Structure 1
Amino acid sequence: MLELNGEWLFKVDPEDVGLSQLWYSANFDRTDWVSVEVPGFWERYSNFSKHDGIAWYYKSFEMPKIDKRKKYAIFFGGVDDDCGVWLNGEFVGEHRGYSDEFYFDVTKFLKPGENELVVMVIDHGGPGGIYKPVAIVEYSEISDLLKGEFYYKKARKSEEWVKDAVIYEVFPRAFSEKGTFKEVEREIPRLKELGINVIWLMPIHPIGEVKRKGTLGSPYSVKDYFKINPEYGTEEDLKSLVRTAHENGIKVIIDLVINHTAWDNDLIREHPEWYVKNNKGEIISPNSDWVDVADLNYDVQELRRYMIEVMRYWVREFDIDGYRCDVAELVPTDFWNEARKELDKIKPVMMLAEGSLPEQHLEAFDLTYSWNVYDALARIIRKGHLPSVLDNVLEGEKYKFPRGSLRLRFNENHDKPRAVKFFGEDGALVSALIVNTIPGVPLIYNGQEYGDTTNLSLFEKQVMSRDNSERGRKFYSFYKKLFNFRKKSLALRRGEMIKVKTSNDDKVYAFWRKYKDETVLVVANFSTWGVTTKLQVDEILRKKVKNGKVKFYDVFEEKTEEVKLEEFVNFKLEPFGFKLILIF
């Protein structure tokens, strides 16, 4: 391993001219760049403490020798937020997201003697820079470098129903014209038929009026933790909804927003010492955008006890089945650990963190958000990046998180654009296929099953569209077949994921999910044009061949066929086309 820490050259690019001016080129004139130390955030460099945006790093290093029998990679412990990498003037790759270790193969770019490494970093706010070590490594060492401190630990054991979940996120205000619990309850049989077995209700509490955003305000500005938003109904309405859901085999979790409160929450008047304050002693918002809420201070033990009682109350009195915990990373993990122990005394629950911290899986949470998979799909579908981007993300997860960690998979939620608008109609379907078939627990949002394009505001009254045209029926049929197949498939819910090589790996992503004797094949074309691809006949497929033939069930076409092996391995896929197949 050749460590590249230490002195680098550095230059900020506030006008975003570096790419057009070829700052990454070999032998580029960098006499006006300044010397800095890596790793570290650039905020600690003089004159750059307030810089957000683009900055460039340069490092010249000597490679003593290169063994042509080996492969080499450049390894980054972490870059905040995104980056592009060039070696000797050649583009190596790009990465998005500040929380992951990552690497690029540089075997063909690396040369004996002097090499020039350039990294363009894009910081979206807060700390920025190459904040963890950088090194040139042999491929055999990559796995050791990627193994974080939690790799050797086990995630908490989750209930079987948690592992089997297909979660439907409900924004009650936008779910129907009336926007009530009764309207949600009325559709429980439909959701069951669709294949949903967990409903997540976005915040159900009264909404603050002081400093309110928009006409109706955000449900994430909570005025009273022990009451229900009267627009949604009564306590009995919620209890009835939960009972009906349980009778239909569906669990109900609710949003828990305890990092901050509304400005007119009684806690501000009764317990101002529970809030974060500035140097003038004034209660403040968590950040400059969330002006409608006030930040809570979890250094205060009385606040912790109060919030644990809030969590116990809704489970005990309303029989809910757990919580989706808003901005869980902003609340101390040790608080969540303590709260989970108290909830476990009442009943088994699901705890979903809107966060991505590996340590959250050890005691408190069953699930964390996999923003990284969403970002990978965005790069592949919207920008034409190689499907292997997804492999890199999933491999990083394996090394970073405790064994057995469950990740929430999604291509849409209330914080992201509608999938159909963001990915396009075909891209929305293929991305939904992936998030429902890779390891993890899938999520679907209000109206997504109809291919809805309505951007549902948190602050105004908008209602999701139930498109009953041929287009809407196509989306609905897709999700119904997908969810109900998943419900029957232990391979998709428990099985290992094994990549399959194809003749078009630059466009086609294929993998097996395997559990005991059940084998499921997923094949997806991530390109904007049709392809004919051939699967590599590996040992898994070879074992399924009988008398030179393969018997399989096509989930979306709902038909069983038996064909010769050479016919089966050849797939013709439309742009963003896909196959989900059960092999007998």
Structure 2
Amino acid sequence: MHQPGPPRFCAVGESVELAPRDPNPEHEASYEWSIIESPPDSDLSVPDDPVWHLEPDAPGTYRFELETPEGRYEQRIRAFPDVRRSTSFDLERDRLPEHDPEEVSIMGPFNEHLFDREHPTLEGGTYRYEIDAEPGTHRYGYVPGDDFENAVWEEVTVPGPGKPRVFLDGPDEADGDADTTTVTAEATPGTDSEYDADELAVEFYVDDRDELTDADLEVDGHRARVPVTDLEEPVRIHAVAVGERHSVADCVIVHPDGRVERRNDPPEWARDAVVYEIFVRSFTDEATFESLERRVPYLESLGVDCLWLTPVLESPTKHGYHITDYFDTSSDLGTREEFESFVDRCHESDIRVVFDLVINHTAREHAAFDMSAACVPEYEDWYVWEDLAETGVEPDELASEIGAENPREDYAPPARTTPDGETEVAQYYFNWRGIPNVNYDSLAVRSFFLEVVDEWVDVVDGFRCDVAWGVPHGFWKEIYERVKSHDSEFLLLDETVPREPEYAESEFDVHYDTTLYYALRDVGNGERPANALLEAARAPRREGFPEWSLHMRYVENHDETRYLEECGPEAQRAAVTAVLTMPGVPMIYYGQERGATEYRQLMPWEGDGEATTFHRRLVAARHDSPALSRGDLVDVDHEAVGEESDAVVAYTRETDDEAVAVVLNFGAEPVHVRVDLDLESMDLVTGEGRNLERTDGGTVLEVEDAAVLRVADDR
């Protein structure tokens, strides 16, 4: 089935990848695109390639036809007006270490984090780089020369309204007597929007793969009536809310009996999950699947119910992200049978296993890369090869020795000489010279990685997708449909840097929450007040993430320094409490609960037992309290008694039946805090009563690091 997928939504100035699904590389010449319809002001033309990147040049609707070996299919693109505005990404010169101004470069999502490509101008004492950027907060880094480790990272906020949001719903029970069923859109304005909810437009679209058309819908404002009398198969209805900007699209499935099934909702189990990440080769001395299996009782004791493993496939590196064989487990860890035995043992303990899927790049040692570098025709386009002059790589760098101890940083840039005598360099992100980017314009690459997905979808319960921002949206949408049709409970977790709400549109269930992560670090370092956490926790709405999206919240992971080492034990207990009591999917990184201070060190099994008990009790409190796992986040008026303290924050999590107050102190000394609530004395984490001083309309308590107390039920 080569139909290219659902309708796509973008703005002028953005790029949308169009490609056949489940392609046959042997029939590449049989895939041909043509334009059926385009806006009157568009001068767009279609290339001859089967995979191409559409950049709409005018707002409106585009319709394309894809001819394939199996037939002809349509693909629609709805392009909205360009909302970008000229923005300056600045940095004071003296913030960089000693450097040559001629060798300073800037990287960020605007250039896909490609190293040494874009160069700023130096105006007085300020580096400046100007581009068009959409409203929101943008993170960027200035790099002195090739000293990536000493890059200085900064953010700039572009003013303007946020994205609106839309949520589709309808009857969830069959009504066999009805001729139509109604799909209702709940539209919410973006932050700083001039639109009210009822002023937002909602556009409904029938999926081009289904038997109905847009003309079959009876649309009235935020409602669409769908005829079901003659339906033979379910149909998919997509919608976007439109104000100053357009929302992430939502989708529902309308069944012939009138039922409406939501398409984008994450698995129900994920809403209550606590994730534990294991850096596989550092969790046990033996570093084998058998040794991991023997430690499952420890995971049970923590109360976690989802395990994320860093890569377990064949790799020459300790971290495993340089993969050389996608169809077998790494020989040093054990056989595939031993891996599956470990997964089965986790399932016996009601622990789901998430597998690290690495498909943005391969190891430089992968056989496909060797053949691509040697210009073997079948593999020539498997990787993104660029002309040497376009990369910023100096010719003398290509002659440096290959095979250093740490290939991720120390390899020479990967290069080849073409049959025409031209020098090309394989593209890689940041300074990751050992993991060249694969080329998703290649049908062979797409087919290969679909086979990888199929190979492991029956073995594990989900994929954590490494460098998800480097793989095209269209391919993630294809993977999403592929795995969800196989198992609707399968989980997809993205690593996107920075966060982008578009990955919630039929692509991923859970998203890295880098916004809260950075806020926790800044608060723990005393660089921001603790109240900043509340703004960060609510950032997904401001950033345009839809209502159904879940966000993985954490204080550290395998790519970051340890919070304990950077911010200290008191701040760590407060930060961990925040992660496990705020909305979202909390994640614990192995060793965090044992006092680990190095980000990939051997698990300190003889470490901090008190910290482990603290983590166990926090996990138990979250599981035992519906408010802590699913309640609304509500601000609480509070103040430090007799002193000023920016290190304190208070909030509640509330359901109709329960409210739990959380008071956090990121400072090194205990603080007496007054909150405007009547609290019960029993702390849900320690299990012990606290000394409370009742005041008129409030409670005063001493907080060393964290307090988690129920609000007295006066309802």
Point out the structure with the larger strand share.
2
Runs of 4+ in 1 over 4 A off after TM superposition: 5-12, 123-126, 128-131, 145-148, 151-155, 560-565
1:341 aligns to what?
481
Shift of 1:7: 9.9
Note the alpha carbon deviations across 1:391-423, whole angstroms, 9 max, x for none: 332333222211121111000100111121022
Pick the aligned partner of 2:699 from 558, 569, 575. Answer: 569
Overall identity of the aligned pairs, in %? 29
Work out the CA distance in 2 between the residues paired with 1:569 and 1:240.
52
1:152–1:511 CA distance, 2 compared to 1 (3 A): farther
1:151–1:498 CA distance, 2 compared to 1 (3 A): farther
Pick the aligned partner of 1:467 from 591, 597, 606. Answer: 606
The answer to whether the 8 A contact 1:207-1:221 is kept is yes
1:513–1:82 CA distance, 2 compared to 1 (3 A): farther
Shift of 1:265: 1.3
Work out the CA distance in 2 between the residues paired with 1:52 and 1:378.
31
1:438 aligns to what?
582
Q: Which deviates more, 289-298 or 408-417?
A: 289-298
2:247 aligns to what?
150
The answer to whether the 8 A contact 2:477-2:506 is kept is yes
Pick the aligned partner of 1:496 from 632, 636, 643. Answer: 632
Work out the CA distance in 2 between the residues paired with 1:455 and 1:301.
38
Pick the aligned partner of 2:437 from 292, 295, 299. Answer: 295
1:417–1:518 CA distance, 2 compared to 1 (3 A): same
1:204–1:391 CA distance, 2 compared to 1 (3 A): same
Residues 1:14 and 2:143 aligned together? no
The answer to whether the 8 A contact 2:274-2:587 is kept is yes
Note the alpha carbon deviations across 1:315-359, whole angstroms, 9 max, x for none: 22x2x1010000101111111111111111222211100112201
1:52–1:520 CA distance, 2 compared to 1 (3 A): farther
- Per the normalisation by structure 2, the TM-score is 0.59
Note the alpha carbon deviations across 1:142-185, whole angstroms, 9 max, x for none: 64279964378589211121111111111221111100111111
The answer to whether the 8 A contact 2:276-2:589 is kept is yes
1:437–1:527 CA distance, 2 compared to 1 (3 A): same
Work out the CA distance in 2 between the residues paired with 1:225 and 1:302.
15
Pick the aligned partner of 1:559 from 688, 706, 709. Answer: 688
The answer to whether the 8 A contact 2:531-2:648 is kept is no
Pick the aligned partner of 2:140 from 78, 81, 93. Answer: 81
Equivalences for residues 142-221 of structure 1 within 5 A: 143-144=192-193, 149-150=246-247, 156-208=264-316, 216-221=317-322
1:580 aligns to what?
708
1:403 aligns to what?
547
1:151–1:264 CA distance, 2 compared to 1 (3 A): closer
Pick the aligned partner of 2:593 from 449, 460, 463. Answer: 449
**Secondary structure of the structure 1 residue equivalent to 2:653:** strand
1:285–1:522 CA distance, 2 compared to 1 (3 A): same
Unpaired stretches in structure 2, ≥5 consecutive residues: 1-83, 97-109, 112-116, 129-133, 143-149, 162-188, 196-243, 252-262, 372-377, 388-421
Pick the aligned partner of 1:477 from 603, 607, 613. Answer: 613
Note the alpha carbon deviations across 1:499-521, whole angstroms, 9 max, x for none: 10102373321111012202111
2:568 aligns to what?
424
Residues 1:263 and 2:364 aligned together? yes
Shift of 1:387: 1.9
Work out the CA distance in 2 between the residues paired with 1:531 and 1:244.
45
Residues 1:367 and 2:503 aligned together? no
1:530 aligns to what?
670
Work out the CA distance in 2 between the residues paired with 1:129 and 1:246.
42
Equivalences for residues 224-263 of structure 1 within 5 A: 224-263=325-364
The answer to whether the 8 A contact 1:551-1:562 is kept is no
The answer to whether the 8 A contact 1:406-1:440 is kept is yes
Work out the CA distance in 1 between the residues paired with 2:667 and 2:280.
37
1:529–1:337 CA distance, 2 compared to 1 (3 A): same
Work out the CA distance in 1 between the residues paired with 2:247 and 2:516.
20
- How many aligned positions are there? 462
The answer to whether the 8 A contact 1:454-1:465 is kept is no
Shift of 1:51: 2.8
Which amino acid letter does the alignment assign opposite residue 480 of structure 1?
A: R
Shift of 1:386: 1.5
Work out the CA distance in 2 between the residues paired with 1:9 and 1:324.
34
Residues 1:513 and 2:653 aligned together? yes
1:530–1:149 CA distance, 2 compared to 1 (3 A): farther
1:473–1:13 CA distance, 2 compared to 1 (3 A): closer
Work out the CA distance in 1 between the residues paired with 2:660 and 2:650.
11
Q: Which deviates more, 483-492 or 555-564?
A: 555-564
1:372–1:228 CA distance, 2 compared to 1 (3 A): same
Higher relative contact order (CA 8 A, sep 6+): 1
Work out the CA distance in 2 between the residues paired with 1:511 and 1:6.
36
Pick the aligned partner of 1:272 from 374, 380, 383. Answer: 380
1:551–1:341 CA distance, 2 compared to 1 (3 A): same
The answer to whether the 8 A contact 1:420-1:452 is kept is yes
Pick the aligned partner of 1:307 from 437, 449, 458. Answer: 449
Task: Provide the aligned C-alpha RMSD in A.
Answer: 3.5
The answer to whether the 8 A contact 1:151-1:403 is kept is no
Unpaired stretches in structure 1, ≥5 consecutive residues: 18-40, 43-47, 58-74, 84-122, 209-215, 457-461, 542-549
Point out the structure with the larger helix share.
1
Work out the CA distance in 2 between the residues paired with 1:173 and 1:82.
31
- Per the normalisation by structure 1, the TM-score is 0.72
**Secondary structure of the structure 1 residue equivalent to 2:503:** helix
Shift of 1:202: 0.6
1:61 aligns to what?
none
1:435–1:149 CA distance, 2 compared to 1 (3 A): farther
Q: Which deviates more, 150-159 or 272-281?
A: 150-159
The answer to whether the 8 A contact 1:206-1:223 is kept is yes
Which amino acid letter does the alignment assign opposite residue 144 of structure 1?
A: S
The answer to whether the 8 A contact 1:153-1:403 is kept is no
Work out the CA distance in 2 between the residues paired with 1:308 and 1:384.
45
Work out the CA distance in 1 between the residues paired with 2:604 and 2:87.
54
1:250–1:78 CA distance, 2 compared to 1 (3 A): closer
Work out the CA distance in 2 between the residues paired with 1:6 and 1:255.
37
1:273–1:513 CA distance, 2 compared to 1 (3 A): same
**Secondary structure of the structure 1 residue equivalent to 2:664:** strand
Note the alpha carbon deviations across 1:89-146, whole angstroms, 9 max, x for none: xxxxxxxxxxxxxxxxxxxxxxxxxxxxxxxxxx9579x98684479xxxx9964279
1:500–1:151 CA distance, 2 compared to 1 (3 A): farther
Shift of 1:288: 5.4
Q: Which deviates more, 291-300 or 6-15?
A: 6-15
1:101 aligns to what?
none
Which amino acid letter does the alignment assign opposite residue 394 of structure 1?
A: A
Which amino acid letter does the alignment assign opposite residue 628 of structure 2?
A: L
Work out the CA distance in 2 between the residues paired with 1:240 and 1:437.
33
Note the alpha carbon deviations across 1:171-228, whole angstroms, 9 max, x for none: 22111110011111111122112111011111011114xxxxxxx4541100010011
Work out the CA distance in 1 between the residues paired with 2:300 and 2:706.
25
1:544 aligns to what?
none
1:34 aligns to what?
none
Work out the CA distance in 1 between the residues paired with 2:276 and 2:494.
16
The answer to whether the 8 A contact 1:275-1:297 is kept is yes
Which amino acid letter does the alignment assign opposite residue 481 of structure 1?
A: R
1:342–1:124 CA distance, 2 compared to 1 (3 A): same
